[in-house]
Amino acid sequence: MNKKQLFEQIKLKKSFLCVGLDPVLENIPQHLMSHEDPIFEFNRQIIEATKDLCVAYKPNTAFYESRGIKGWESLLKTWAHIPKDIFTIADAKRGDIGNTSAMYADAFFNEEKSGMSFDSITVAPYMGKDSVSPFLSYPDKWVILLAATSNEGHNDFQLLETPDGKLYEQVIKVSSTWADSDRLMYVVGATRGAEFANIRRLAPDSFFLVPGVGAQGGSLADVCEFGLNDHCGLLINSSRGIIYAGKGEDFAEKARAEALKLQKEMQEILEKAELV
């Protein structure tokens, strides 16, 4: 899915919502435990309940890898169940020397080898260009580079001053020479607030994947005020706030209700910006 196609989905659904599929076995409704694969059944029902309200799904691979072979099987089935007109993000935060990154790229992009072909993958930039290039060698895939995150420890490194600005600014400036905005997105935490204006200045045409709205305290209004561009340019992720909205047999309906609230808010923002 290229940038134009992604924007078409945003306009069609009047939404730039990304649903994070991060299930913990102990937290899913007990009635699902009778299924052969409770994690997949949980994801399946969440997808069925929200697929008309979101434009992306983002499984965080740690929630699957931690369960060994069973977890990988759940991830494979989840990826296969997501409709092909919805953008898929493997939230794996990979990044290593070139030949290792090439194997990671195969794992998430090469369906013939691994059984999965996500549209994109999150990548850590610390090791530089040669650790990112293998993911960009797939011409129809995206790299979503960690830039300015929302976690408590982000200021340990990301805000360090360099001769050319803060370290996260350097990440954006340098990486923008590796690929254009049709191939490269950035992770920018919702809790960065007004700093979005500076980040948008550095990457005017790029999409940002934005975690931290809701459970982590980020404001959708603030993010959009400073981060919206002429093709929206935002994918707002919500995980716990949607998937754990209900704990009973109606959990999928509760998840839909929470997703619908966000979609309606996003529709108002898009209409006000005259993007739909």
Position 245 pLDDT exceeds 60: yes
Separation between Cα atoms, residue 162 and residue 168, nearest integer Å: 10
Note if 261 is an active site residue.
no
3-state secondary structure of 247: coil
Of residues 270 and 213, the one with the higher pLDDT is: 270
Which of 93, 173, 261, 272 is flagged as catalytic? 93
Give residue-wise pLDDT tens across range 124-145. 999 999 999 999 999 999 999 9
DSSP class per residue in 100-154:
HHHHHHHHHH-HHHHS---SEEEE--TT-HHHHHHHHTSTT-EEEEEEE--SGGG
Give residue-wise pLDDT tens across range 23-64. 999 999 999 999 999 999 999 999 999 999 999 999 999 999
Tell me the CATH number at 189.
3.20.20.70
| Domain of 86, in residue numbers | 3-272
Position 216 pLDDT exceeds 60: no
Count of domains observed in the chain: 1
* Mean pLDDT, rounded, of the chain: 95
The pLDDT value recorded for residue 215 is 58
3-state secondary structure of 170: helix
3-state secondary structure of 91: strand
196 band by pLDDT with thresholds 50, 70 and 90: confident
Report if pTM > 0.85.
Answer: yes
The pLDDT value recorded for residue 152 is 86
- Which residue's structure tokens are 């940002």? 208
- The rounded Cα 51 to chain-centroid distance in angstroms is 15
